[in-house]
Structure 1
Amino acid sequence: MAEEPDVTEDHVPAACTGCGNALSEGDSIGFERRQVRDIPLSTVEVTEHRAHRCRCGCGTVSSAPMPEGVAGSPSSYGPNLRALAVYLLVFQHIPVERTAQLTKDVSGAEVSTGWAASLLPEAAGLVAGPVNLIRALLVMGHALHADETTTRIGSMRRWLHVACTGFLTLLHLAPRSRAGADAGGVLPHYRGVLVHDSLSLYAGYGSCTHQLCGAHLTRELTALEEDFPAQKWHQQIRWALAGLNTQATRVRAGKIGEIATEALLLYLEAFQRGIAVGLSQHPRAGGRKQSTARNLLERLRDQAHAVLRFADDPGTCPSPTTVASVPFDRSRPS
């Protein structure tokens, strides 16, 4: 409960329940407290700005300027209403038409969809400086995560690219291509450790060090476990990655100085044996096209340095994102 409520309402019994005499607040000997949190009814408030013209005794007429932020049109919407609409559009991902409807329902302002859509370029211009700063800080960072996913704008499917750390995020819309990833202005200039999935376009960035994302690998291994439940190699590889990730996390947290040699050997051996068994159970097919399982296993084998980089120097190398831990019975290795 709030120590100092904004409003206090006192409720006094109208009369004594014994004799019927009238009672007032002065008769109070104590009270029970209840607090209710609510928001005030919101309605649009119209402020008229009048810029006067004044005539001096010398005959000169001087005009007062309109305050900064007041639009040139006779009627406009103020910064608070515009900020609300931009918040709904950008942060809450509410479509333009529904943003206009919600703004009208909440505030009473009869805004149009065209007005709501016109706010985005204005807002983008206002945050251009901070966005450039975010871009520069991402480029200078030691570790960077990159990914991409589909989104829809109207009836069209577009690709949304992200470059981020634990503190900064930069999003941009572009095709799913090297040029599309470059359009964010971060990856072409990055020189640190880039954590990403196995999309081939990321491999083209040769100026940075690569770490394959453990969350993506875990998803792929889990999917193959569902496809081949009788096999155990996927569980063994996932168990090894989870164990190494736990040890690396302890190093970064300062709980241990380094991953113990025996632990490192245990997990690396399980990782390599799991791959070997998986490859034996999923031999190569004729031609270039291979099965999903074979493609993953060859990637784990051929790019082991990028998969396990987080354990090479865990004090400075980033986590490959959280790798889900799965039980694995070492008494029955693959």
Structure 2
Amino acid sequence: MSKIFRIFASVNQQVGIEKYLEEFRSEISRQNKTIKDLTDDVARLNRRVEAQNVEIKTLKSENKDLRERLLKYEDPQPPKNSGNSSVPPSKERMGDEIKRRTSSLREKNGKKPGGQPGHEGNTRMMSAQPDETENIQPNYCRECGRELSDIEGVEEYREECVGVRIIPVIKRLRFLNKTCTCGCCNRVEYTKRKNPVYLSSEIRALVVYLNIVMCMPYNRIKSFLLDVMHIDISEGSIRNFIEDAGDKAGKICDRIASELVKSPVAGADESGFYVNGKFNWAWILQNPKLTLTWIAKGRGAKEMDDRFGPNALENTVLTTDRHSAYFTMNVKGHQICIAHLLRNLNYLNDLDKNQNWSSRLQELLRKAVHWRNTNPETVADTSTWTESLDKLLNENLDKFKKPFRQIRNSLRKLKDHVFHFLKDPRVPSHNNASEGGIRILKVKQKRSGGFRSQIGAEDFMAIHSVADTAKKNDFSRWDTILALV
């Protein structure tokens, strides 16, 4: 019996182990499923966290942008434009440009627009010898209907119409030879052209004039000549005409440069522009009779020495803006542009309307300019003017915004150059002539998008220098360009 019980116990023990193993396997399966579910949950949560991080980054960026946009309402900063800063008109906001074009920056004087009482008007006068005469007369009698062609008319009124013929004139040049009675055959010297049909100097000059003076790009010049004059000309020919004129103008520019360094007073300015997509600098040095523009690598004082030679302007008073490079040059004296200062002070007026420091400084500068305008030949003692300027510059501006202190600190360094125009009647109070002489580059860039090549830019500078010099000396820019082609 004991043996049977032992066998039975052994069987029960084996059955219990199998059952335990089955339960263990089931538990492991459940644990694996739980782990997989947890892994999926972690992956899903990671994806959600990643998406939320992206959303947070986006919201932070939007928040920063909105804060910057809101800042101008919380702490209003007036926009800078050509009326209150040195920002060029080409970079103004559309609203500022419209305002500038539709309203004058001059202060109202109470006078009506147009000619004032006592102003001597100008009108066109009739020519002594008109090119054509056309008789406007009746051809039939209004009563009986008789033809009146055999009756000579009596003049009772005349007027003149000024017009122009916009048609090409084709002139054929025939080179003839003549044989003398002595038997000698006489010929006029000539050189056979590759193409015996060519464009006249007037058309070549018109092409150069439209490109340099009117700043028209090549394709518009081509369209203009084709539409108006029925002359088809390639852009390559246009470039050749400008290049030929530029070579001749370059030699004249050397003579202009040699005369400019002798000038007791001159104005200078510099401006950036693009050549084939690359940024360059253009410089100008001018006086009331001469203009010279050229291309430079930068806007440092070295560029002036490279063009004219070291110490070439040591006997010249230079009128400029407050660009620091000018005040490292070896010149006789400086005059900073008062017009620049007045524009910058306009910005301070808009920046803080509760202060009057900038308006008082403007008033002082305007009084000085007015005094010079009413006393064009008088040499002034500037001590009183300088004393008034010192009082304004020594006022405490700590409670004002940063631009106030920037202008004050700049004027403290340059105060000896503010009223030079009062000591020397030859020195202008502004640098408008230099700005106007170099502004043509901005017009060119706006209309044509810049220059295609360095040589093209150099030709433009040279021809503009010669044409502007001719204009200052009361010569026609058209006649000047006609002489270059």
Please give the alpha-carbon distance, in whole angstroms, between the structure 2 residues aligned to 1:35 and 1:187: 59
The Cα of 1:11 is off from its aligned counterpart by 2.2
Distance change >3 Å, CA 53–CA 14, structure 1 → 2? closer
**Quick check: 1:160 aligned with 2:278?**
no
In the other structure, the counterpart of 1:230 is 354
**Quick check: 1:119 aligned with 2:241?**
yes
Distance change >3 Å, CA 228–CA 247, structure 1 → 2? same
TM-score (norm 1): 0.78
**Quick check: 1:146 aligned with 2:256?**
no
Match of 1:94 among 196, 216, 239: 216
Name the SS of the counterpart of 1:21 in structure 2.
Answer: coil
TM-score (norm 2): 0.55
The Cα of 1:17 is off from its aligned counterpart by 1.3
The Cα of 1:236 is off from its aligned counterpart by 1.1
**Quick check: 1:279 aligned with 2:397?**
yes
Q: Is the 8 A contact 2:177 2:188 kept in 1?
A: yes
Q: Is the 8 A contact 1:49 1:66 kept in 2?
A: no
AA at the equivalent of 2:365? L
Q: Which runs of 5+ in 2 are unaligned?
A: 1-125, 433-485
The count of aligned residue pairs is 303
State, as a whole percentage, how many aligned pairs show the same letter: 21
The Cα of 1:188 is off from its aligned counterpart by 5.1
Supply the RMSD in Å over aligned alpha carbons.
3.2
Distance change >3 Å, CA 51–CA 99, structure 1 → 2? farther
Q: Deviations over 1:23-52 (max 9, x none)?
A: 237343333223211101321525355587
**Quick check: 1:206 aligned with 2:330?**
yes
AA at the equivalent of 1:272? D
Name the SS of the counterpart of 2:397 in structure 1.
Answer: helix
Please give the alpha-carbon distance, in whole angstroms, between the structure 1 residues aligned to 2:189 and 2:214: 37
In the other structure, the counterpart of 2:369 is 245
Distance change >3 Å, CA 135–CA 161, structure 1 → 2? same
Q: Is the 8 A contact 1:14 1:22 kept in 2?
A: yes
Distance change >3 Å, CA 51–CA 16, structure 1 → 2? closer
Distance change >3 Å, CA 81–CA 188, structure 1 → 2? farther
Please give the alpha-carbon distance, in whole angstroms, between the structure 1 residues aligned to 2:187 and 2:430: 62
**Quick check: 1:305 aligned with 2:432?**
no
Q: Deviations over 1:133-162 (max 9, x none)?
A: 221221101100001123344544433211
Moved more, 102-111 or 175-184: 175-184
Answer with 1 or 2: which has the greater Rg: 2
Please give the alpha-carbon distance, in whole angstroms, between the structure 1 residues aligned to 2:431 and 2:321: 14
In the other structure, the counterpart of 2:92 is none
AA at the equivalent of 2:428? S
Q: Is the 8 A contact 2:336 2:418 kept in 1?
A: yes
Q: Is the 8 A contact 1:147 1:197 kept in 2?
A: yes
Please give the alpha-carbon distance, in whole angstroms, between the structure 1 residues aligned to 2:428 and 2:360: 20
In the other structure, the counterpart of 1:219 is 343
AA at the equivalent of 2:330? G
The Cα of 1:305 is off from its aligned counterpart by 0.2
**Quick check: 1:190 aligned with 2:313?**
yes
Please give the alpha-carbon distance, in whole angstroms, between the structure 2 residues aligned to 1:281 and 1:271: 20
The Cα of 1:6 is off from its aligned counterpart by 1.5
The Cα of 1:273 is off from its aligned counterpart by 2.7
**Quick check: 1:24 aligned with 2:133?**
no
Moved more, 126-135 or 178-187: 178-187
Name the SS of the counterpart of 2:260 in structure 1.
Answer: helix
Please give the alpha-carbon distance, in whole angstroms, between the structure 1 residues aligned to 2:164 and 2:396: 60
Q: Is the 8 A contact 2:269 2:320 kept in 1?
A: yes
**Quick check: 1:320 aligned with 2:420?**
no
Name the SS of the counterpart of 1:279 in structure 2.
Answer: coil
Q: Is the 8 A contact 2:321 2:431 kept in 1?
A: no
Q: Deviations over 1:62-103 (max 9, x none)?
A: 985326xx8554443232211111111111111122222223
Counterparts of 1:28-107 in structure 2, within 5 Å, are 28-45=153-170, 47-48=172-173, 50=175, 65-66=189-190, 72-107=194-229
Name the SS of the counterpart of 1:28 in structure 2.
Answer: coil
Please give the alpha-carbon distance, in whole angstroms, between the structure 2 residues aligned to 1:215 and 1:193: 18
Q: Is the 8 A contact 1:225 1:235 kept in 2?
A: yes
Higher relative contact order, chain-length normalized (CA < 8 Å, sep 6+): 2
Distance change >3 Å, CA 6–CA 73, structure 1 → 2? closer
Distance change >3 Å, CA 183–CA 218, structure 1 → 2? farther
